[in-house]
Chain A
Amino acid sequence: MLLEAKDLSVVYGRTRAVDGVDISVGEGEIVTVLGANGAGKTSLLRALQGAVKPSRGRIVLAGRDVTNGSSAARVAGGMVLVPEGRQIFVSMSVHENLLMGAYLRRDGGIETDIAAIYERFPNLARRRDMKASVLSGGEQQMLAIGRALVARPRLIMLDEPSLGLSPLFVEQLFSLLKDLNRDGIAILLVEQNTSMALELATRGYVFELGDVVLQGPAEELLGNQALVAAYLGGGEAAPTEIPPHAGS
């Protein structure tokens, strides 16, 4: 397994946000984590990336225990988190944002990798020297993902990347994730868009109140959407059919 967390718990004061969770992502896999707001998905990602210290459990990345390491240790180990809400460096240019993704790299291939990002996202190339704050929401999300890619990750974790994006951009985003996976990058995806996430993923976990209540191959969860929807709560009805763009 590329990433393996065992018995992971995150506690804020008296609140147990993540409660003894086992979760894993294999080499080249796409794993999705579903759950209602407040189920502990973001806390899970923050703990995996080292932004919060887990109160219990251990995290192993590519065979190395990184539980007590910093997030720099994770990035160096090939794991990058794209945080929720397109957090880009607003006062910097697009190009400078991408350079920040290479912060820990000392090799000479950075410019080549950034050129490849520009090829993948022509919109970013056009706005190379512009302030990142003038980008549209979708472009900012692409920049956040591009910045993560410059770190040359083996595993990208994304926290609700489709949040607030137009349907067109959401579709582009999911096809991008599929492309990245085809290039050999494993993906851990936290999403609200349940059916699209399960369509893309190989496996899924369903969170409720900081605990995994359901897990299995994505197809199995897709076939059992009524149950998944029940855990996601909020009176959300399960979509009866798969959106037409999925799988295309």
Chain B
Amino acid sequence: MGGYWSGILAILAINVIFAYGIFLPVATGQLNLGGAGFQAVGAYAAAYMSYTYDWPVALTLILAMVVTGGIGFAVAFPILRLRGVYLVLGTFAFAEVVAGLILNSETLGGAIGLPVPAFVDYEVPVVLAALVTLFVFYLMATRFGLVMRAVHDDEVVSDLMGVSLRGVKVAAFAVGAGLCGLAGGLYAHTFTYVEIQAFNALVSINVLLFVLLGGTQTAFGPLIGAAFFTLLPEALRVLLPQLQASVASLFGAAGDMRAPDDSWRFVILGCVTVLMMVFRPEGLVTRTLVERFKPRRRSGLAAAEASA
């Protein structure tokens, strides 16, 4: 496999894990716009231990996950008191605080960043992404997954049924933060360099878009969303010049054209985003869509009669 494709696979795998980290709180109705902050914590935790103490990758990744999950757990208590747009702003502010702290920390390299001696090839993130995907699918099929959806649907009634709202939200937020941390650790070892500029607000926005546009109702959503939005810009890298050529030839002006500016890819990406919001407001993959592809089970009445 060429370096280009293995690089894309690694980024895709990291983005899938990252998206699941944001999906878990979103599935309980909590929008998390602080993704970059959690990813930065994981990336720097892994980078620091690898750089300073030469820890093996397995240990730095576990540490990245545990530290970020722990911070997510601690932050969840105050931050989940906020609701709606205030929660979005609160998580966003958390990411900014993390960036500010790292930027001003000499131990973490400040604005220069940290080199990461241990490199991992694309297989590691790909295998971990597969494991995380299985884990989230399993989680959503358990009683806890059902309760997460209940909290998302109606907090008041969930409470009336005896659900501990605080417990469910904090758990989803903290486990999600841990996954963001794992994505960060993998980022550090894949790019072998961390600098805080890489964990900016745009990263937080993009990963939330993966989840919201992919669909928040099922565990398919983040997978599809992350894959679509990671691969689309790459596909456009090839398709855009072709598109330009065909448009130009329509007007009979083929030949001596400059290659399209790279930023055009993001214009198209933006248009696709808007179109998806218009035509698939619940996300690309909805529960109804998943149901349609499931093998038909016995009709409800037959099942009830059989059990009666």
Contacts and interface: CB of A to CB of B under 8 A. Distances in A.
Interface residues of B, number: 28
A71 B150 contact: no
B300 A89 contact: no
B154 A103 contact: no
B304 A119 contact: yes
Contacts of B152: 91
B297 interface: yes
A115 B308 CA distance: 6
B162 A103 contact: yes
B153 interface: yes
Nearest to B151: A89
A90 to B, nearest CB: 6
A49 B304 contact: no
B30 to A, nearest CB: 16
Nearest to B216: A91
B146 A118 contact: no
Interface string B287-308: 1100000000101110110011
A99 interface: yes
Nearest to A75: B162
B307 A100 contact: no
Contacts, number: 93
A126 B300 contact: yes
B164 interface: yes
A121 to B, nearest CB: 10
Interface hub of B157, B158, B159, B287 (most chain A Cβ within 10 A): B157
B150 A92 contact: yes
Contacts of A80: 160-161
Interface in B147-181: 147, 149-150, 152-154, 156-164
A80 B159 CA distance: 11
Contacts of B159: 51, 70-71
Contact of A81 (B143, B154, B160, B287): B160
Contacts of A72: 162-164
A103 B304 contact: no
Contacts of A87: 154, 156-157
Interface string B163-201: 110000000000000000000000000000000000000
A103 B308 contact: no
A136 to B, nearest CB: 16
Given A51-B156, A89-B154, A115 B304 contact: yes
Interface string A71-97: 110111000110100011111101010
Nearest to B288: A131
A109 interface: no
Interface in A152-207: none
Q: At the interface, is chain B mostly helix, strand, loop or mixed? A: helix
B217 interface: yes
B161 A103 contact: yes
Given A91-B152, A92-B149, A115-B308, A129 B300 contact: yes
Contacts of A122: 301, 304
A222 to B, nearest CB: 31
A51 B149 contact: no
Interface string B13-35: 00000000000000000000000
B163 A125 contact: no
A195 to B, nearest CB: 29
A89 B150 CA distance: 6
Interface in A101-124: 101, 103-104, 111, 115, 118-119, 122
B304 A125 contact: yes
Interface in A52-72: 70-72
27 contacts: A51-B159, A51-B160, A71-B162, A72-B162, A75-B161, A80-B160, A83-B156, A83-B160, A87-B154, A88-B157, A91-B152, A91-B217, A92-B146, A92-B153, A100-B146, A100-B147, A100-B150, A103-B143, A103-B147, A104-B161, A115-B307, A115-B308, A118-B307, A125-B301, A127-B300, A147-B161, A151-B161
Interface of B: 143, 146-147, 149-150, 152-154, 156-164, 217, 287-288, 297, 299-301, 303-304, 307-308
Interface of A: 49, 51, 70-72, 74-76, 80-81, 83, 87-92, 94, 96, 99-101, 103-104, 111, 115, 118-119, 122, 125-131, 147, 151
